[in-house]
Amino acid sequence: ALDVTGAALISSTLGVTGDTTLGTLGISGLATFDSVPTGTGVGQGSVYINPASATADYTLLGLAVNGDEKFKVDEDGDLTAGTVTGTKLYMTNPTDNHTSASADVRWNPTTKELEMGGDDICISVWSVSADGKETYSGQLIDWNYFKEYEDYDEVTLRDPSNTVKFTVAYGLPETDYI
């Protein structure tokens, strides 16, 4: 057994076989986790965080740059991913054929909800080649709000080749159809 009280300085490599229990660990240099994942289960990844218990809404995993929060997962699985600094939120699924979505996003402090909308919401389809090049295939869903018409909304559904399959419009004055 090795017990260290106070500071310990290791200037080279420390090898540990078996489980290691640490109270608080601060790392000021680069930390590399190079163990190979052993499966698809949550506990089979290169990094596994699994406290015996956690207080509601307390952070289990957090990433920040100089104290500026970028990513956080809390006790009940709530995920906070960065701060939206523009007016769009982009979401992608990195598979060979993936879908991305973008929308105007804002936080409503009254309802405590993330609202998507504003001018439009668009869900698009992209293809990714073996070398990682992305090619735009078209839009699956468009939701458009036209500011010039106070209460007009339009939803368009398309197939992956960008052919319009279905459109629903609400609120357009009849005189504007001409």
Asked whether 115 and 105 are in contact (CB, 8 A), the reply is yes
| Co-location of 5 and 65 in the same domain | yes
Per-residue pLDDT, 147: 46
* Same domain as 129, residue 62: no
Say yes or no: 97 and 155 in one domain: yes
pLDDT for the residue 93: 43
* 90 and 33 in a common domain: no
- Whether residues 71 and 91 fall in one domain: no
Question: Is 99 in the same domain as 35?
Answer: no
Extract the tokens encoding 114: 């993330």
- Taking only the tens place, the pLDDT of each residue in 55-97 is 988 999 988 888 887 788 888 887 777 654 444 445 444 443 4
Which of 83, 106, 128 terminates a domain? The answer is 83
Same domain, 134 and 90: yes
Q: What is the 3-state secondary structure (H, E, C) of 128-158?
A: ECCCCCEEEEEEEEEEEECCCCCCCEEEEEE
In this prediction, residue 85 carries a pLDDT of 46
pLDDT at 63: 86
pLDDT for 176: 45
Same domain for 78 and 91, yes or no, is no
Three-state secondary structure call for residue 80: strand
Domain tally, the chain: 2
Residues 91 and 145 both lie in one domain: yes
On whether both 77 and 5 belong to a single domain, the answer is yes
Please tell me whether residues 91 and 73 are part of one structural domain: no
* Residue that finishes a domain, picked among 53, 83, 113: 83
Q: Pick from 51, 67, 83: which residue ends a domain?
A: 83
pTM above 0.75, yes or no: no
CA distance 66 to 128: 34
Domain that holds residue 153: 85-178
Question: DSSP state, 109?
Answer: T
Per-residue confidence (pLDDT) for residue 25, from 0 to 100: 78
- Residues with pLDDT less than 70, the chain: 82-109, 111-129, 132, 134-162, 168-178
pLDDT at res. 55: 94
